[in-house]
A and B are shown apart, each in its own frame.
Chain A
Amino acid sequence: MKEVEGLSSGAETFEDFVRVMRPRLTRAFVGCRGVSDAPDAAAEALAFAYEHWERVRTMENPGGYLYRVGQSRTRLRKPPSLPLPAEVNLPEIEPDLVPAMLALPESQRTAIWLVHACGWSYAEVAEATGASVSMIGNHLSRGMHRLRRRLEVDSNA
């Protein structure tokens, strides 16, 4: 798994913080808000960080916290709109990956997206979603099993 340079940004200034955090949050929000709304959610989260910078800058995991902020400030009750792999110039990726992801329960989809598509650790996902680490592992394992079954790939893939 790609190691993401800690969600604790280590940024000295808000500008540095934004530079590091904006792409991470945007990618994370794509999984729950879709490509079109993810920038809004990231903007909401960063706006909160701007308003509460003295508090946010000392957090161990501001990314997880801001993920929750962005989620609560931009609500959506339908599955996110995600482009097909071919639309992002990835024809080698299974075309069914996106519909298979969208068919997952939200909790499983969120865990899979943040861990595999965004490279977050279980602990970071737990912080971001308010669930326990063991529960994240549970969501991930069940979700990946369903994804693989749907995509008919080897379960060891």
Chain B
Amino acid sequence: MRDVAEQLRRYGEAVEEMAMASPGLAHPHPEPRRRGRHVLVVAGALGLVMVGSLAVWAARDGTPSAEVRTSVPPTAEPRGPGTPASVSSDMGGLILYGGVPLSTRHDSAVVATGDLVVVWGGGIEGPNFGRPELGDATFSDGAFLDLASGTWHPMAPSPLPAAEDTRPVGIWTGDEVLIFRGSSGGAWDPTTDTWTDLPPAPGRVTRAFWTGDEVIALGADATFRLGDGGWSDLPAGPFPPTSLLDGTAVAGVWTGSELLIVNKSMGDVVQVAAYDPDRRSWRSLPDGKLSFGSMAIGAAWTGGDLVVIGYDNDVAALDLQTRQWRALDPLPVVPQESVPRLVAVEETIVAHQGPGVSVLSGGGWTVFPVDQFPFGAPEPGPGGTVLTFGLTDAEGSILGVFDPRRAVADPKRLQIGFSSLQLDDSETLRSMSSRNEEGARTPITATITTPEGDCTVTDVGAQQPPAVECPSEVTSEKLRSQLAPPPG
């Protein structure tokens, strides 16, 4: 038989029969289970079908019990009821979860496991955030939000040393959350709320990616296999080791089969290389270009394109199939001295740069005022959402779960240059842009459709409100009244 798919289908049927014939399901399990857990043997429920009995528990000591349990069994989830998150939303597509049972902080590792959002570590420089009373601190504790119940739970104390003043990196393997800070690491199991110490990395981990089989750690230039695998050096690639590069000039994305590493070298060149963990080999990809300026870059993977953003808000995409670069619309926000961050939700791009959170979808960019979001780098969230965690103007830290595709459907508050614009129900965003023309960037402009016709709202600099032009002065005045300078 040559057809591999057909062989698999037949083999699948055969092993299903074998597994279903296993006596373990038909009767209460006579032995303590492998991990010593209480396990609900669904033989009872199955027995409604097969033998007419009800659900039966196999107790930890292995003594079969005839007790019928209908409440939540001991699922090896030692978490208590948790504390309800305060949930709020003043913007379509953005839900804010407050009541975080942690000290005020930012720069935490934020990892989505599917049903949970884990927040671990981070720090605070109170004076820099206008909160001198908070002082400076680095934290080694964490908490997780159960999205299903909307409750926060503290995590068990971690084995990571507290002294390192380095932003933690977190990834989800499908079974555990791995946290790295500096060269230290720990694995947290959400089903048992327990940590396993990981062997130290050969260098400081600045970014980490899970391939399905191993961790690829930038900064440490190494790979790590769980179990007995340990750390191995990453084979030498076309760039210098990432430990020697400016961390803000290096970005990486996992495509599902390769790790793409992007390095903004001196000048306007963006170098890209792909690492194949199966072959443990590298291949070079064509260089791209971003405008000359700061070396800081961000990158995201859409499923077909590597999208790269530079500090000057130039955006470019490399199609991995055609190996061709193309320029995308520049981000229409005021550049700031910060590391731009990108997250892709399939082909929708979310950019965190300057005084806005921007979404690039089929119709172009939409920029939302950053004051609505927790101040933090975006991370991929569950179900096509993007997570941001950090400080807000209000007390404490907060978690934002942002659905960009829902948010751009009918945006009602926009960031235009240094000001925000509140739209009413009769007004809709048509487009936002800041194009490159003959080497110069045109001003940031939003086109707003009103019942009277299209209006343009154009940024003219930090010291003045945007210029508004509508078909009539009455409508212009109305839109001007809906503009607000940024808080602070």
Contact = CB atoms under 8 A, between A and B. Distances in A.
Interface in A67-89: 68, 71-73, 75, 77-78, 82-83, 85, 88-89
B16 interface: yes
Given A105-B278, A130-B174, A39 B25 contact: yes
Nearest to A141: B257
Contacts of B48: 14-15, 18
A105 B213 contact: yes
A14 B212 contact: no
A142 B257 contact: yes
B84 to A, nearest CB: 18
Interface in A9-66: 14-15, 18-19, 22-23, 26-27, 29-30, 35-40, 42-44, 46-48, 50-51, 55
A70 to B, nearest CB: 11
Contacts of B34: 37, 40
A85 B11 contact: yes
Given A23-B20, A105-B212, A72 B9 contact: no
Contacts of A40: 24, 33-34, 39
Nearest to A92: B1
Contacts of B303: 132, 134-135
B114 A78 contact: no
Nearest to B347: A134
B457 to A, nearest CB: 36
Interface string B1-29: 11111011111111111111010110000
A60 B12 CA distance: 24
A105 B174 CA distance: 14
For B33, B45, B72, B346, the residue with the greatest tally of chain A CB atoms inside 10 Å of its CB is: B45
B97 to A, nearest CB: 20
Contact of B175 (A43, A72, A105): A72
Contact of A26 (B20, B227, B257, B304): B20
A77 B11 contact: no
B387 interface: no
Contacts of A47: 39-42, 55, 73
Given A36-B22, A39-B19, A39-B25, A44 B39 contact: yes
A8 interface: no
B451 interface: no
Contacts of A5: none
Contacts, number: 184
B256 interface: yes
A105 to B, nearest CB: 5
Given A35-B18, A107-B213, A157-B3, A43 B40 contact: yes
Nearest to A82: B15
A147 B227 contact: no
A30 to B, nearest CB: 5
Contacts of B16: 23, 26-27, 30
Contacts of A15: 45, 48-49
Nearest to B276: A142
Contact of B18 (A29, A88, A106, A108): A88
B226 interface: yes
A136 B370 CA distance: 34
Given A107-B211, A154-B2, A138 B257 contact: yes
Contacts of B372: none
Contacts of A73: 75-76, 191
B8 A117 contact: yes
B255 interface: yes
A18 B12 CA distance: 19
Contacts of A108: 212
A75 B7 CA distance: 27
Contact of A139 (B17, B71, B256): B256
27 contacts: A1-B5, A1-B9, A2-B9, A15-B48, A18-B48, A18-B49, A30-B19, A36-B22, A39-B25, A42-B42, A43-B24, A43-B41, A43-B43, A46-B42, A47-B40, A47-B73, A50-B40, A71-B175, A85-B7, A90-B10, A93-B1, A94-B7, A105-B213, A116-B4, A134-B346, A135-B256, A154-B2
Interface of B: 1-5, 7-20, 22, 24-25, 33-34, 39-43, 45-46, 48-49, 55, 71-73, 75-76, 114, 148, 174-175, 189-191, 211-213, 226-227, 255-257, 277-278, 303-304, 346, 382
The 3 closest A-B pairs by CB, nearest first: A117-B12, A107-B212, A47-B40
Interface of A: 1-2, 14-15, 18-19, 22-23, 26-27, 29-30, 35-40, 42-44, 46-48, 50-51, 55, 68, 71-73, 75, 77-78, 82-83, 85, 88-90, 92-94, 97-98, 105-108, 112-113, 116-119, 129-132, 134-135, 138-139, 142, 144, 146-148, 151, 153-154, 157
Given A132-B346, A144-B5, 13 more contacts: A18-B46, A22-B25, A23-B16, A38-B19, A43-B40, A44-B39, A71-B175, A72-B175, A89-B14, A116-B4, A116-B5, A119-B12, A142-B257
